[in-house]
Structure 1
């Protein structure tokens, strides 16, 4: 029986796919490297860090302040850096980890993804993962890690805008997609959000930009309080949907409202800055900061939700310039995957 562990499940490692000159980061490589270095430092001080990179020697020179004993490298090329969406999704099968290698098509063929789509297979073939870790090829089904949230108890939270997109799996109906998630992720039910988006988002409303499980009974979500903001109506409708959701026991979820990030613009385009794009790791939560007074407000709110973890802010303004944030560039692996 497959089981998709929640993000707070004990982890063995987190993957970063490092930017290089052949990616869209080429014009701002130094700037984005600073963000990646900070993420790498916080992760490697607590657990293993898997770095996929085009040139290992170049990246090693950047990581002198990190715990190098905790860093595992895999030298391979990539189209981009969004490990959340091209990384393998790990399920537990009777307690043993299995990497599910779903297809990645650049968020509905918006961007090239041929190199990214083979990264997980290369990692498995190179024996980066422990020998007992299973591998299953699911490249015939498009599924990005940022599009699903698990409570660890059989509930998957997602958005209809993404999973029902005609550019993902048009051959499947909503019922068939639900059945697929139940079969391979061990889901017992799927909660669908039909509203909510962020301007500048390329992912068709990934759930990890909007609403996140913090534990099996708590959902943190982006709340827009400014009626003049373009997101107000859609996010208000999303909030109403969340209020209608109930746990498997029939109890309303504890909802934790995160502030809407102050508008960020680059080249006259509003960027998808969101505090929902945090990463839970062993003993800490990494929270994207955007150089705003709301950063500390979001940190205070999440610290109350995760009293046993340190909530650490990381400036992710650079990541938003390519329409993502902190959670989007990471993928966690539960204990047992990497030694």
Structure 2
């Protein structure tokens, strides 16, 4: 079976829904779509210094997707974000951080994103073999009751010293602490750019009021898209966002700025159109959108990951940052899953909608 037929099989009866859709609200001719020329086209005339452009080039030109304009990144910071025992109990080998890096290498990822501790312990052995992305802040789970706040765990200079090509950070937009986080990360990203590193922002939403009895709007297209727009305003070079699963967050929650016509003009209920709105809010695709792979659900992980990749690619996105679906299974299965997802971005029959 060729790769395209394999993808179609995993999509099942909904294959035509995802593979034949045409976006008619925000059309593809308005987008900057990923290509081998992405870095020159987007950043060649920007304020990013030559060292930042070189770091971006290292990231985009590594692994199986090298030279395509697409990214496949392995992120493993769940030992802090979700607690280590909960994250690794099925496959305890990942308590050893070297195995995280080995998974990214074996799968042909563009880079590996993890904590200061994971990457620092292996920096001399691997920083020259695969691009390091140091996640500089985290939400720890030992405060009781749990709170949603991202806290810096180290310095940008420390990440630079270990040979990282990029730093990553999360802002919980909508949370009580979002303004402090925004200021901290804006300053950290400015320092990273001065040192020649690229920047990736996890633009997540956190507010108890966003989850109602009828719907959880943390993944609403309009709200996540605005978070993306805040992220690119902070000069993030790449945006990480969850795939949208609904819409009308501003309207249903009755806050912010909205009119009915903005929803009618910009999007539909189709999953690719919802993701297209996220891409549009990343400066019409000029800043790459990578969607997260989501949690592991077992047998359906591969089909779900392929569906997410197809939606992201056809919406005009720049790839996937997929972790739990890969490392919460045997090593070889994790490699196979990542590489099957990469095949979506390598398949020329799957084009921007």
TM over 0.5: no
TM-score category of the 2 structures, normalised to the smaller one: 0.3 to 0.5
- TM-score by structure 1 length? 0.34
Structure with the largest fraction of helix: 2
Higher strand residue share: 1
Normalising by structure 2, report the TM-score.
Answer: 0.33
